[in-house]
Structure 1
Amino acid sequence: MILIYSHTTSPRLQYSCNFIFKELLGIDFTITIDSEEFRNYEGVKINYSNQQFQFSTFTITPHSLLFEIEIKAQQINCFENKGYKAFFKIADADFPFDIFAATFYLLSRYEEYLPHIKDMYGRYAHKNSLAFKEGFLQLPLINIGTRDFALELQKKYSIFNVQFNPELSRRTTFNFVPTYDIDIAFSYKHKGLLRNIGGFLKSPSLQRIKILLGLQKDSFDAYHWLNDLHQQNKLQPIYFFLVAEKNSHYDKNILPHKDAMWQLIKLHAKKYLLGIHPSWQSGDKPQLLKEEINWLSEVVNDEVPKSQHQKIYLSRQHYIRFNLPEGYQKLIEAGITDDYSMGYGSINGFRASVASSFFWYDLQLEQQTNLRIHPFCFMDANSFYEQQFSAGQAYEEMMQYYKICKEVNGTLITIWHNNFLGTAKEFDGWREVYEEFIRVVRREW
């Protein structure tokens, strides 16, 4: 166990230490304000204060952030540290920056509570972020910094020998979680006569006619192919279904009461973990979120004994549309315990600068919540529409994220949509690069 001395403790300090030591390193710690207890302790001890001791200890001079109770602009100056960016620099200490404060700043998404410019969808724009401005958006900076921090502790204390031992924590081994957003289940099928006539008049297509006549498979239907891919590579994916009761400009899925949608959800519920993909409309009308969760639960548990009913507790926002803290507070109120929205809908990268799941800290209430956040770093739509990558460039991008996540024993979460993995000519080559990526990861994992 590690003993940490501080002149006072706080929910912020407790939260940051809990993530670094328990979540990432898998070791226990205690914070004390008793200098005599700290002096007499014979194990690994960290002095997180301005007090100087005459005995050997690992010293980190604290930034004020973890002892504040307000939310205000912080003066941040980044510097190079072992090839990566760091901030909250300190001198005459055993580590070059306050890793506890820096971790809290990034993990809590502190900057998203400050005045900022929103993008065209009303979201926090990635260009506001420190990670984008300083060029470390593509790195899980917290994992990297924690690794170096652990190595420095080992140099100081020979008895501290974590080595990121998989036996110490379930989160210290690399993991890959493929996830899918089903927000346009089919390109032409099951959309109804009026929608198809309107679509045909707007953009005449022989392919549409062939699909509707049953002469050709729907171009967005990649479900059986994906199932085979998962079975062959022994993967446990997560599917997020959009089940808006009515269509809108941003909600264009097959309506949930249609038998085709009902059967599609039931088919996947038998094999995989399912989550809600809250509609755009639910962002404006919070009561819709609970209705959509209840409807999805009804389908998943149809014809299943009550004792075996599955609860819908996973979510990912449609268009990654959410703002803090309201967005996550609404999820908690609706009974969601795990959210997969932490990333940008405009660029790939690590929005929270981490490749591991974590509990959300509500800065407004100054407390850790029970909502676990699972950050993603790659989404097909970002590569294609926003970054305008080719399929080959997207493959290289995925490989970069795979390598860095594996290097820090993190979790790689990717987002794909069924339309990218079907047979639509617009996405020629994307199915093939995804299949190759899966094979490489599975072979090396």
Structure 2
Amino acid sequence: MLNSKLTDSQQDVWLYANQITSRLEYVSRFVFETVLNCKLRLIDELQITNPTFLKTHFIINYSERFIENTFHIIPHGLLSMSGSYDFRLLKSQSAYGTLVIGTQKKPADLFSAIFYFISRAEEWQNRFRDMHDRFCKDSVFSDEFDFTEPYVDQWIEELRVKLNHTNTHFKIAKPEFKCTYTFDIDNGFAFLGKPLWKNVLALLKDVVQFNFLFVKHRINTLKGNTADPFDQYENIIQHILKYKLHTIFFFLVNRNVKYDRGANLNSKVYANLFNRIRQSNITSGLHPSYTSFETSNQIENERTMLETHLAKSIDISRQHFLKFNIRNTPNALLRAGITEDWSMGFSDILGFRARTTHAFLYFNFDTEQMEPICLKPFSIMDGVFYIHQGVSVLKAKEYVEKHKNLIRKSGGNFVMVFHERIFSELHHPGFSKFFFEITETNSQV
């Protein structure tokens, strides 16, 4: 969830604007409460004209007028508008880029630039989608900010340093760097937990394709002579507990349709897995099926099914195949009882889809209001390495370390996605120990 633990020791931030709009409140609460862990106070004209108040409080002045003893940010004007998401943010010589609205081009201010990214205005627009109808790496234009940097986090860190430098009595601590390792359990098991006819058909397919190593392993697994190649769960759980890693398991419950081909949740092997997850008190979430991304009833049915198997309430999720439509999926999830979604990322590149690593609330342009569902970004999915880039394990480790260091600089959140198949030496030689090797030190290092 968003940072909601306000304490007496937190720094008070007072924000003045001519007009407190829903857009301004949305982005300012993200910056100061979610990221910088401050107490945000929105103030009006009466307070800003009080000389005593000005002398005793540190105030951010988000207006065009100059007010002595305030930190001045001149607004672009975007946050005073409503009813439209048809605008673009271009890279330029200006610190936060140039906003294009219709034929007007004007340098963006800090809050407007951040609003552009966390509101996901670019996803609301009618842009290019990939074969699964997803917002993708080709959905932005070459003159716009790319996905290689957490620009929002970097801008907020620059603001924090400036604010601390401006007033010696005003000190905001740098956000704590955190790591979260998540697991999308799409199949559960490679061979076990599936009906005999499925294994027979798969066996015949392997024979036809001369995949005799798979034939041998499948037969030995079904005969009980060797472990299922995906069944590394006990080792994973022991490792998580040993190093106190913050982890989440997302379970796909739909099956027997294209793109949803999980094992039987009623099988003995799955029952054992669910029991072990419960015993370990590891956080679990739903992996809503491929076709569910706009259908709340389907998501709710799958959620209920998973809750039955885990004997616990579920209110977090990540969409299967990252099938996430910014216009409809958040509200479908909300209606189904989901309040936290972890789909904000890419499957084929390392990068920052929302240009931030911090969680943010969903902004609904149809109503011009923030909605009570939290969107949690991730920046690396395991398949980038062994499917899309085809790099070595050593190179993949270097990428992860470099990525962590980039996020650490601005006190961000490193979130990575794994699938059960990466733990199979049969399926992805060399990568079966990858998760263990990159997390052998403390989780926040």
TM score, norm. by length of structure 2: 0.88
What does residue range 105-254 of structure 1 map to in structure 2 within 5 Å?
105-129=116-140, 134=144, 136-164=146-174, 172-204=175-207, 205-244=215-254, 246-254=255-263
Q: Secondary structure at the match of 2:433?
A: helix
Q: Which residue of 2 aligns with 1:23?
A: 34
Deviations 1:73-94 (A, max 9, x none): 324331367xxx73248xxxxx
- 1:79 is aligned with what amino acid? S
Q: Which residue of 2 aligns with 1:435?
A: 436
Contact 1:395 1:434 in 2 (8 A): no
Give the counterpart of 1:65 among 73, 78, 82. Answer: 78
Shift, 1:368, TM fit: 1.5
Q: Secondary structure at the match of 1:280?
A: coil
Distance in 1, Cα, partners of 2:227 & 2:47 = 74
Deviations 1:240-280 (A, max 9, x none): 11111x41110010022333323322321221111110111
Deviations 1:383-409 (A, max 9, x none): 322233332222122112211222222
Q: Which residue of 2 aligns with 1:383?
A: 385
Q: Which moved more, 1:23-32 or 1:174-183?
A: 23-32
- 2:253 is aligned with what amino acid? V
Distance in 1, Cα, partners of 2:287 & 2:98 = 37
What does residue range 227-306 of structure 1 map to in structure 2 within 5 Å?
227-244=237-254, 246-271=255-280, 272-283=282-293, 285-301=295-311
Q: Which residue of 2 aligns with 1:13?
A: 24
Q: Secondary structure at the match of 1:79?
A: coil
Instruction: Indicate yes or no: 2:101 matched with 1:101.
Output: no
- 1:380 is aligned with what amino acid? D
Deviations 1:229-249 (A, max 9, x none): 1122122311011111x4111
What stretches of structure 1 of length at least 5 have no aligned partner? 90-95, 165-171, 302-309
Give the counterpart of 1:51 among 39, 61, 65. Answer: 65
Contact 2:183 2:418 in 1 (8 A): yes
Shift, 1:116, TM fit: 0.9
Shift, 1:199, TM fit: 0.8
Distance in 1, Cα, partners of 2:129 & 2:146 = 21
Distance in 1, Cα, partners of 2:28 & 2:233 = 42
Distance in 2, Cα, partners of 1:26 & 1:140 = 19
Q: Secondary structure at the match of 2:127?
A: coil
What stretches of structure 2 of length at least 5 have no aligned partner? 1-11, 100-106, 208-214
Q: Which residue of 1 aligns with 2:8?
A: none
Q: Which residue of 2 aligns with 1:306?
A: none
Contact 1:3 1:38 in 2 (8 A): no
Deviations 1:94-124 (A, max 9, x none): xx95111111111111111111111100111
Q: Which moved more, 1:259-268 or 1:106-115?
A: 259-268
Distance in 2, Cα, partners of 1:113 & 1:151 = 33
Q: Which residue of 2 aligns with 1:330?
A: 332
Distance 1:378 1:133, change over 3 A: farther
- 1:45 is aligned with what amino acid? I
Shift, 1:133, TM fit: 5.9
Shift, 1:284, TM fit: 6.4
Give the counterpart of 2:396 among 394, 397, 415. Answer: 394
- 2:38 is aligned with what amino acid? I
Contact 2:180 2:414 in 1 (8 A): yes
Distance in 1, Cα, partners of 2:295 & 2:60 = 48
Distance in 1, Cα, partners of 2:301 & 2:37 = 39
Distance in 2, Cα, partners of 1:342 & 1:153 = 30
Distance in 1, Cα, partners of 2:273 & 2:248 = 14
Deviations 1:189-229 (A, max 9, x none): 22121111111111122221111111221111110110121
Contact 1:4 1:45 in 2 (8 A): yes
Q: Secondary structure at the match of 2:415?
A: strand
Shift, 1:160, TM fit: 1.6
Paired residue total: 416
Distance in 2, Cα, partners of 1:217 & 1:60 = 61
What does residue range 347-366 of structure 1 map to in structure 2 within 5 Å?
347-366=349-368
Contact 1:71 1:113 in 2 (8 A): no
Give the counterpart of 2:370 among 368, 371, 391. Answer: 368
